[in-house]
Amino acid sequence: MTSKSDRVIVIGAGPVGLCLSLALAQADVQVTLIEQLGEHNFLDQVPRAGTNHPATLDMFDRIGLYERIAPRGIIAPVFHYWDRARGELVAAFDHIHLKDDTRFPYVLQCERIKIIEEALVMAKAHPNIDVRMATTFTSFEQSADGVVAHVADEAGANEAIAGAYLVSGEGARSIVRKDLDIAFEGFTYPDRTLNIEVAYDFRRHGYAERNYISDPDEWSNLFHWKGPPDRWRVHFPTKPEDDEQALQRPEALQARLQAFLPKPGDYEICGSNLYTVHQRVAQKFRVGRAILAGDSAHVNSPIGAMGMNSGVHDAFNLADKLIRILRKEVGEEVLDRYERQRRHVAVQHTQAETMRNKRVLAEKDPAVRKKNHDQLRRTAEDPKLARAFLLRSSLIESLREAEQIA
């Protein structure tokens, strides 16, 4: 099998596949983007990511995506840590401390679904991107010269698409990763997280647009999304033995919300779902001409909002390298650097931070809880410490560290 094509085949029109496709196409690289969902169900995806960190906004801006999503999101410079057991605000972190580090000293609360909707419009309009919706990637093969991706359309018609490189932006269940027999190292938490979407303005109780709430029995996260109607997302832990349906009965959802914040009358619940949380990193991010990016390479707990953000950072790192390879400015060995850089970030930043975040929120020992809260309070109150904390929580430090990796 040989292929002299310079085309990059990207599997998956998630945030990672779309950002990669746009960055490549804008540098004159021909891209084929394969997405299994069709026009009719592309926007029917369960709620997932939504907090976009400063460095990610900078990358969105580079491809012209920021100006499309900013009006659909909420600019949130401040986030909170709360102690639910004491009903008290522990610390408020203000991204203004990053004003000399980024053009975007805030996060943008804008859901994944809005991001991919806008990015897909851009991808379809770009002459260098061949977008194949309702097309499922099934397998691939590669040689020293190229790759061939096998896909099937809705009617079951098969096609073989030739290219120079294949990038898996397929998400956690990546066929490419499994076909390459790459171990997905890590673990899965035994308990699932319950997500409730509710139309109620929690700001009237002092909450910020983005809140991490510790509690020895029931930690939670609380995030605001722009409507209409304006919605808040509340995450709660569940027990491994809990019944899925019982957890999501309307009266059970109301009871949970009322226990979290009692109020007269029912909450207006817009939806709910349960999700399983994994902490895993692929042992390799690349074999030959097949490369993993985003959730296909690493998955983590959403506490800290790092999965999509770090996946988008993979996409831009990889785009820069593929562009230079295809222009023959550098050799393929730069793809090994991609793996060294982005695997380091996945293990040392994304995994480490999100696991630490969960531990802090779920801590049961009163002495450790007090120590954690005192430390957060001190950090938020000292501008130097607050900046260092925010550089890490917003993944800017991860990008700076990756730059130092040869």
Binding site for ligand FAD (CB under 6 A): 11-17, 34-37, 48-51, 112, 136-137, 169-171, 175, 195, 275, 294-295, 302, 305-309, 311
Are 289 and 166 within 8 A, CB to CB?
Answer: yes
Kindly state the smallest distance separating residue 331's Cβ from ligand FAD, in Å. Answer: 27
Query: Which of residues 354 and 373 has its CB atom nearest to ligand FAD in the complex?
Result: 354
**Distance set, CA 390 to CA 80, 91, 106, 316, 387 (Å):** 12, 13, 10, 22, 5
Kindly state the smallest distance separating residue 349's Cβ from ligand FAD, in Å. Answer: 12
Kindly state the smallest distance separating residue 297's Cβ from ligand FAD, in Å. Answer: 8
Task: Pick the closest to residue 277 from 247, 242, 303 (CA basis).
Answer: 303
Query: Which of residues 14 and 237 has its CB atom nearest to ligand FAD in the complex?
Result: 14
Query: Which of residues 345 and 369 has its CB atom nearest to ligand FAD in the complex?
Result: 345
Kindly state the smallest distance separating residue 311's Cβ from ligand FAD, in Å. Answer: 4
Query: Which of residues 59 and 373 has its CB atom nearest to ligand FAD in the complex?
Result: 59
Query: Which of residues 137 and 285 has its CB atom nearest to ligand FAD in the complex?
Result: 137
∠ at Cα 277 (208, 65), nearest 5°? 55
**Residue 71: burial class (beta carbons within 10 Å; 0-12, 13-18, 19+):** exposed
Query: Which of residues 116 and 335 has its CB atom nearest to ligand FAD in the complex?
Result: 116
Kindly state the smallest distance separating residue 39's Cβ from ligand FAD, in Å. Answer: 13
Kindly state the smallest distance separating residue 112's Cβ from ligand FAD, in Å. Answer: 5
Kindly state the smallest distance separating residue 87's Cβ from ligand FAD, in Å. Answer: 25
* Rg for the chain, CA atoms, rounded: 21
Query: Which of residues 305 and 322 has its CB atom nearest to ligand FAD in the complex?
Result: 305
Kindly state the smallest distance separating residue 20's Cβ from ligand FAD, in Å. Answer: 9
Kindly state the smallest distance separating residue 88's Cβ from ligand FAD, in Å. Answer: 25
Amino acid residing at 391: L
Kindly state the smallest distance separating residue 45's Cβ from ligand FAD, in Å. Answer: 7
The pairing of strands 269-282 and 298-299 is antiparallel
Query: Which of residues 197 and 373 has its CB atom nearest to ligand FAD in the complex?
Result: 197
The pairing of strands 51-52 and 74-76 is unpaired
Query: Which of residues 346 and 386 has its CB atom nearest to ligand FAD in the complex?
Result: 346
Q: Which residue is nearest to ligand FAD (CB)?
A: 14
Query: Which of residues 193 and 379 has its CB atom nearest to ligand FAD in the complex?
Result: 193
**Distance set, CA 87 to CA 45, 205, 214 (Å):** 34, 11, 10
